[in-house]
């Protein structure tokens, strides 16, 4: 056996399918085997592999063992002279495997090899070639010097920026996304260190390969797409801790004690620095717009209150401090929350949703006002002024920002997609059918049908028709050609998608942070932003109310403390009152992701046959036709099961 390919998967079924298609499309003149180690996915990955790739050696773990342990499971039973560790969110050229094996055969000193990696827009990924994270290299990377001096041997040592990305070079660290290893070297230096759960294991193994007397090579004569980041949000706090702690494990294991202490101090400082940036950044990303609205509205209402109270209401002084600093802010917060839950903070900006949310918010304020004691009732004039002032100031400053040139404040519908669809006529028709069912805002779809396409003129087609997205039919176009065209069309600032054969999804990546940009058939009205917001509001309000009434209903339940525990988890946004019925992974395939529910759609109906098929159908109906009323109905009918 020449080559063993090992793919560790965790809840990325769409990417895995595309990856396996590219593996089996490879032209190989030698024996090979493919392992997929699934770390207890719940997205239908296992069913998809069994159905579409029966030749795969599938290992089904019952828990998430992490990257290292899962890879070692397959490596231990592999038979190949070489072992390729491959991420599921990758796409290979048809000759990638042949070229890298030939290189290893002709370079007996090679213990490991990595290739040139591109992201989903065809941009070069610098982690294709890396140096060791020495204290100095890590410092320059963490604090941004490597970005300022990207080709410096000193400042960009972490990504070996001084090495030509188009030339074969010896490197220090291979990427775990594509890591071709000589089995003989693994037998000598050992497998992946299982102390690393995720991240850092590739650095550790690369180091041991070099210590074992072998070399690691960067081989750019073939390219792969790496949709980097689907399983991990790079700006999440969890990512910061896991990634940098992996560096600490490496330092303690391989660096001298003194250097390891210095490195650990540096990394812990970086963790605090990065985590703080992440917390602050995420906070302002989510609340910046609302905070700006609050400040603008508060300033207007505050000045109006001061002015109205003195000059028109006949008061010797303005409104009391309680009113100015407590009542007005509460009034504004109620209004902004109403705008938020009615879609007023979606982008692009839709004035109608802002006005709708504002009107509902004003009505809520009026209702609250009517029930307040007389001595707490504030001026009706202020409410009337707010009813006019709030939408005007909110829309006005957005309009000014848009005029100045801030694109995120654009008005209207989402940017229309002008799509170029490249593939065989029949396949293009099938893919177009998938697009029709996604409810995307599509302005135009232009088809370039094979085999008559002149790829030399594709630039002109994109430019003349103002195309902003290109979809390639992978059934008809090789991965090598797709990657070549992506690289060439970068200058036109278009997005790229790939439609795998015989699949009802289209997959792509617009950036590292939006790696999971997938079009699927629209059975998921529950995934609409407004439905997500309303469902979360329903969960928060209902869980709080049900916790409050616990002393009056606890006798209804066999496990009253389970009732309290479940609702507390819902209130903390760790669970939902209603979720999909729990089935095997095969049966949740193609359903949108939801938090685990206390109650299920089956609680609302009485079915004689509670087979997986019937339960799956109810799940799909719930996803497709979701409304708050549905959750209320399920809660009413399944109330006695809140302690399950």
Q: Is 251 exposed, middle or buried (0-12, 13-18, 19+ CB in 10 A)?
A: buried
Encoded tokens for 617: 């159908």
Alpha-carbon gap, residue 603 to 638, rounded angstroms: 5
pLDDT given for residue 322 in this prediction: 76
C-alpha radius of gyration, the chain, whole number: 29
The larger pLDDT score, comparing residue 147 to residue 362, is at: 362
- As a whole-number percent, the residues of the chain with pLDDT over 90 amount to 29
Encoded tokens for 506: 């289209």
pLDDT given for residue 305 in this prediction: 77
Which strand (E) or helix (H) includes residue 217?
A: strand 215-226
Angle between helices 328-341 and 257-311 (to 10 degrees): 110
**For 158-173, what is the mean pLDDT?**
89
b/e code 501-514 from CB counts within 10 Å (16+ = b): bebebbbbbeebee
Q: Is 63 exposed, middle or buried (0-12, 13-18, 19+ CB in 10 A)?
A: exposed
Q: Per DSSP, what are the bridge partners of residue 471?
A: 421, 497
How many CB atoms lie under 10 A from the CB of residue 360?
17
- Which SS3 state, helix, strand or coil, does residue 60 take? strand
How many CB atoms lie under 10 A from the CB of residue 332?
23
pLDDT in tens, 517-571: 556 555 456 777 778 888 988 999 999 999 998 888 888 888 999 999 999 999 9
120 pLDDT tier (thresholds 50, 70, 90): confident
Pairing of strands 110-118, 417-424: unpaired
- The arrangement of strands across the sheet holding 417-424 comes to 442-450, 417-424, 469-473, 495-499, 505-508, 517-520
Alpha-carbon gap, residue 267 to 244, rounded angstroms: 6
| Contact assessment for residue 93 and residue 478, using Cβ atoms and an 8 Å cutoff | yes
Tell me which residue of 530, 526, 462 sits closest to 496, measured CA to CA: 462
Which strand (E) or helix (H) includes residue 519?
A: strand 517-520
Encoded tokens for 254: 């391989």
Q: Per DSSP, what are the bridge partners of residue 35?
A: 6, 57
Q: How far is CA 280 from CA 87, 237, 239, 269, 273, in A?
A: 31, 11, 15, 17, 11
Count of residues making up the chain: 644
Sign of the CA dihedral running 409, 410, 414, 418: negative
Sign of the CA dihedral running 152, 156, 161, 162: positive
Alpha-carbon gap, residue 173 to 196, rounded angstroms: 16
Alpha-carbon gap, residue 252 to 449, rounded angstroms: 57
Alpha-carbon gap, residue 329 to 95, rounded angstroms: 64
pLDDT given for residue 565 in this prediction: 93
Which of 90-94, 157-161, 527-531, 634-638 has the lowest average pLDDT?
A: 527-531
pLDDT reading at 343 higher than 80: yes
Which of 3-7, 87-91, 459-463 has the lowest average pLDDT?
A: 459-463
**Domains defined along the chain, listed by start:** 3-129+165-230 (3.90.550.10), 294-346+354-396 (no CATH), 417-520 (3.40.50.2300), 525-641 (no CATH)
Local structure of residue 65 (DSSP, 8 states):
-
Alpha-carbon gap, residue 439 to 417, rounded angstroms: 11
Residue written as token pair 């095997």? 584
Pairing of strands 505-508, 517-520: antiparallel
pLDDT given for residue 624 in this prediction: 73
């Amino acid at each position: 056996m020449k080559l063993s390919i090992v793919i560790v998967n965790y809840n990325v079924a769409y990417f895995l399918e595309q990856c396996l298609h590219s593996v089996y499309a490879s032209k190989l003149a030698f024996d090979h085997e493919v392992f997929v180690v699934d770390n207890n996915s719940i997205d239908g990955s296992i069913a998809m592999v069994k159905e579409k790739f029966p030749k795969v050696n599938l290992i089904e773990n019952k828990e998430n063992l992490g990257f290292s342990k899962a890879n070692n499971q397959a490596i231990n039973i592999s038979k190949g002279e070489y072992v390729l560790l491959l991420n599921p969110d990758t796409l290979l050229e048809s000759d990638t495997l042949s070229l890298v094996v030939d290189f290893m055969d002709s370079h007996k000193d090679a213990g490991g090899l990595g290739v040139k990696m591109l992201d989903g827009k065809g941009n070069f990924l610098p982690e294709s070639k890396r140096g060791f994270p020495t204290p100095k290299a890590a410092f320059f990377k963490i604090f941004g010097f490597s970005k300022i001096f990207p080709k410096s041997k000193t400042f960009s040592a972490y990504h070996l920026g001084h090495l030509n990305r188009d030339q074969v070079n010896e490197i220090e660290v291979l990427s775990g996304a594509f890591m071709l290893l000589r089995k003989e070297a693994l037998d000598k230096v050992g497998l992946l260190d299982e102390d690393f759960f995720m991240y850092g294991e590739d650095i550790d193994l690369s180091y041991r390969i070099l210590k074992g007397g072998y070399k690691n090579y960067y081989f750019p004569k073939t390219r792969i797409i790496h949709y980097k980041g689907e399983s991990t949000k790079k700006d999440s706090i969890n990512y910061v801790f896991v990634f940098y702690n992996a560096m600490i494990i490496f330092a303690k294991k391989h660096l001298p004690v003194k250097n390891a202490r210095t490195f650990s101090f540096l990394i812990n400082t970086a963790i605090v620095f990065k985590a703080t940036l992440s917390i602050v950044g995420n906070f302002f990303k989510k609340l910046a717009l609302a905070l700006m609205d609050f400040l603008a509205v508060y300033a207007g209402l505050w000045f109006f209150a001061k002015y109205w109270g003195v000059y028109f209401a006949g008061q010797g002084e303005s409104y009391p401090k309680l009113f100015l600093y407590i009542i007005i802010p509460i009034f504004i917060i109620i209004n902004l929350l109403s705008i938020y839950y009615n879609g007023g903070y979606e982008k692009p900006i839709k004035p109608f949703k802002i006005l709708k949310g504002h009107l509902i918010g004003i009505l809520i304020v009026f209702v609250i006002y009517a029930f307040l004691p007389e001595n707490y009732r504030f001026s009706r004039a202020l409410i009337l002024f707010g009813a006019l002032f709030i939408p005007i100031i909110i829309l006005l400053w957005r309009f000014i920002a848009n005029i100045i040139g801030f694109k995120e404040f654009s008005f209207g519908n989402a940017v229309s997609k002008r799509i170029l669809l490249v593939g065989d006529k029949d396949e293009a028709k099938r893919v177009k059918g998938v697009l029709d069912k996604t409810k995307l805002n599509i302005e135009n779809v232009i088809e370039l049908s094979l085999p008559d396409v002149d790829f030399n003129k594709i630039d002109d087609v994109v430019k003349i028709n103002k195309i902003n997205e290109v979809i390639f039919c992978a059934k008809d176009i090789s991965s090598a050609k797709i990657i070549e065209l992506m690289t060439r069309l970068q200058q036109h600032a278009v997005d790229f998608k790939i439609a795998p054969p015989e699949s009802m999804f289209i997959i792509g990546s617009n950036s590292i942070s939006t790696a999971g940009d997938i079009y699927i058939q629209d059975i998921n009205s529950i995934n609409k932003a407004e439905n997500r917001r309303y469902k979360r509001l329903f969960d928060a309000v209902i869980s709080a109310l049900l916790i409050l009434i616990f002393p009056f209903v606890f006798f209804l339940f066999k496990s009253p403390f389970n009732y309290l525990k479940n609702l507390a988890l819902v209130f903390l946004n760790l669970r939902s009152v209603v979720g999909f019925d729990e089935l095997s992974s095969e049966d949740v395939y193609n359903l949108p992701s939801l938090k685990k529910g206390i109650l299920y759609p089956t609680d609302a109906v009485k079915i004689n046959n509670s087979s997986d098929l019937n339960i799956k159908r109810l799940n799909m109906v719930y996803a497709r036709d979701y409304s708050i009323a549905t959750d209320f109905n399920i809660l009413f009918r399944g109330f006695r099961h809140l302690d399950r």
